C-alpha cells in the first residue's frame, strides 16, 4: 500500500488570472492621477502600470460578498443624515478653534460595539473617523470594543452626547447591514 500524498488546497492569488482586477487597477490609476495633480498621458500610463504591478505583486483576498445584504433606502438616508452631521460637526469644531476661551477638555473612552459584521464595524469606524470632533484610536475586534477620543468632553452632557452619537451610529449600521433588531442602549 502506498502512502497518501498530501496535496495542499489552492489559495487565492497563486494564479495570475485571479490577481487581475481591472476595476481596482483603474481605481489605483485614478488615485495616482489625483496624487500627481494633473491629467497627462504619462500620469495615466504610470497609474495603470503601478496599478497592474501592485495587484500582481501584492494580491488581496477577495471580499466575501455572498452573505452581505444592504438595505439601500436606509443606507441613502444614513448618508444624507451623516452629511448633515458632518457640516454641524465642522462648524462646532471651527467654533472651538476660534472662540475666545480656553481649549475644551478632551477625553478617551472605551465603547462597546454590538456590530457582528466586520464590514459594518469597518464602515462605522470610517464614518466616525471622518467627522470632526472625535476619532477611533483603537479597535479590539475580539471584544468588539472601540477606544475613542472625543475633542469636546468638558461636561457630563458632552460625554453623554458623544456616547449617544456612537450608539446611534451603531444602531443605524445594524439596520443597514445586519438585518436584525438594533440593540437598545440604556
Taking only the tens place, the pLDDT of each residue in 110-157 is 999 998 888 888 899 999 999 999 999 999 988 999 999 999 888 899
Question: 42 and 80 in one domain?
Answer: no
The domain that holds 141 is classified in CATH as 3.30.70
- Greater confidence, 22 or 185? 22
- The domain in which residue 146 lies consists of 72-178
Per-residue DSSP letters for 55-120?
Answer: HHHS--PPPP-TT----HHHHHHHHHHHHHHHHHHHHHHHHHHHSSSPPPP-EEEEEE-----HHH
Question: 45 and 76 in one domain?
Answer: no
Closest CA to 140 of 127, 129, 125: 125
> pTM for the full model?
0.66
Question: 131 and 80 in one domain?
Answer: yes
Closest CA to 69 of 116, 27, 125: 116
Domain count, the chain: 2
Question: Residue 50 CA to chain centroid, in angstroms?
Answer: 24
Question: Residue 132 CA to chain centroid, in angstroms?
Answer: 15
pLDDT digits (tens, 9 = 90+) for 16-71: 777 788 898 999 999 999 999 999 999 999 999 999 998 888 877 766 666 678 88
Question: 138 and 48 in one domain?
Answer: no
Question: 170 and 82 in one domain?
Answer: yes
- Whether 4 maps to a domain, the answer reads no
Can you give the pLDDT at residue 2?
A: 55
Facing residues of 140 across strands? 145
The arithmetic mean of pLDDT across residues 1-15, rounded, is: 54
Contact at 8 Å (CB) between 130 and 86? Answer: yes
- Whether 62 maps to a domain, the answer reads no
What SS3 state is found at 14?
Answer: coil
Amino acid at each position: 500500500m502506498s502512502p497518501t500524498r498530501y496535496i495542499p488546497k489552492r489559495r487565492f492569488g497563486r494564479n495570475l488570472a485571479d490577481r487581475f482586477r481591472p476595476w481596482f487597477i483603474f481605481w489605483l490609476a485614478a488615485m495616482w492621477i489625483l496624487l500627481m495633480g494633473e491629467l497627462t498621458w504619462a500620469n495615466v500610463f504610470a497609474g495603470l502600470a503601478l496599478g497592474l504591478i501592485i495587484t500582481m505583486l501584492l494580491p488581496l483576498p477577495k471580499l466575501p460578498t455572498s452573505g452581505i445584504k444592504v438595505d439601500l433606502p436606509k443606507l441613502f438616508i444614513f448618508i444624507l443624515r451623516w452629511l448633515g452631521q458632518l457640516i454641524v460637526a465642522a462648524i462646532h469644531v471651527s467654533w472651538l478653534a476660534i472662540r475666545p476661551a480656553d481649549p475644551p477638555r478632551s477625553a478617551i473612552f472605551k465603547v462597546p460595539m454590538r456590530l457582528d459584521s466586520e464590514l459594518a464595524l469597518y464602515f462605522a469606524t470610517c464614518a466616525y473617523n471622518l467627522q470632526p470632533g472625535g476619532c477611533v484610536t483603537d479597535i479590539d475586534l475580539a471584544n468588539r470594543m472601540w477606544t475613542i477620543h472625543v475633542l469636546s468632553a468638558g461636561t457630563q452632557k458632552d460625554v453623554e452626547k458623544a456616547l449617544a452619537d456612537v450608539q446611534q451610529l451603531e444602531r443605524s449600521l445594524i439596520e443597514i447591514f445586519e438585518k436584525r433588531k438594533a440593540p437598545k442602549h440604556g
